[in-house]
Amino acid sequence: MERAAGMHIRAYSPSTLLGRPLNDIELKFAKGQLFVAGPMEIPLPRRRVAIVGSREASAESLADAEAIVKALTKGGVIIVSGLAKGIDSAAHRTAIKSGGRTIAVLGTPLNRTYPRENTELQDEIIKHHLAISQYEIDSVVRPSNFILRNRTMALIADASVIVQAGESSGSLSQGYEALRLGRPLFIWKSLLESSLKWPKEMVKYGAMKLSDPNELFENLPSSKSLVEIKSVS
């Protein structure tokens, strides 16, 4: 779905978006510039948590995602997700309905929408929140875009939560990238209680079980920006 012409798009380096230099591990896969649209301030406000999961999510997992987002939003955390069907859409919508803020990291250029059914949601995010894409306007959308998008989403977020995902879910790429970056990765409790193999594998590499959304706050950085911290010191 094409977006209307005239949308105000800016380009920033990842370090400008985050308000700090990237380390060597972050630089390995970081794009040289990211395209953004929306009124959210730059550098991005802290704290930010990515909520990801299955496109064909169960009703129970959607309810779990909503509960997690409501708790985070209440604590002033910005919700990051990928604008996909299922868990992603629930995360964005719940953040908005709860009076919070959200960032959509897209697998398409900013002037296109996938899936089409999220056209209005993307418009609302661009108007009131922030959308980020690593893809230039009018560039071709390939299936690999969405896996590569997960790398950027893991980089943007201070922590990631996988709510529901099968053995071949694209959300697993988000999880492994978060671990590679040294970011906190949380796996919702029902996944670790299932017969799936990947949750237990990720725990071996440092992922943590999430049983209560409030546990996230113990693993997030200060809400102060680096500029504020320097001025205080």
pTM (predicted TM-score)? 0.92
Tell me how many degrees the CA angle 40-82-84 measures, rounded to the nearest 5: 130
Residue 90 lies in a domain: yes
Band (170; pLDDT cuts 50, 70, 90): confident
Please give the tally of structural domains in the chain.
1
For residue 5, tell me if it sits in a domain: no
232 has a pLDDT exceeding 60:
no
What are the backbone angles phi and psi of residue 60, rounded to the nearest 5°? -65, -45
Each residue of 209-218: pLDDT tens digit?
999 999 999 9
87-97 helix and 59-74 helix, angle to the nearest 10 degrees = 40
Residue 51 has pLDDT above 60, yes or no: yes
For residue 192, tell me if it sits in a domain: yes
Has residue 98 been placed in a domain?
A: yes
- Contact partners, residue 98, CB within 8 Å, separation at least 6: 69, 70, 73, 74
Token look-up 């996938």 returns 114
Burial class (CB in 10 A: 0-12, 13-18, 19+), 124: middle
What one-character DSSP code corresponds to residue 216?
G
69 contacts 94 by C-beta, under 8 angstroms: yes
Which residues, in sequence order, are bridge partners of residue 12? 34
Is residue 4 in some structural domain? no
Cα(51)–Cα(91) distance, rounded to whole angstroms?
6
**Which domain covers residue 129, as residue numbers?**
10-232
More confident residue, 228 or 168: 168
pLDDT the model gives residue 130: 98
Residue 225 has pLDDT above 60, yes or no: no
Residue 9's contacts (CB-CB under 8 Å, 6 or more residues apart) are: 35, 36, 37, 110, 137
CATH number at residue 20: 3.40.50.450
Sign, CA torsion 144/153/167/203: positive
Give the model's pLDDT for residue 160.
Answer: 98
| Exposed / middle / buried, residue 99 (Cβ in 10 Å: 0-12, 13-18, 19+) | exposed
3-state secondary structure of 131: strand
185 belongs to a structural domain: yes
How far apart are alpha carbons 132 and 79 in whole angstroms? Answer: 13
Any domain includes 53:
yes
Indicate if the pLDDT at residue 233 is higher than 80.
no
| 1 within domain boundaries | no
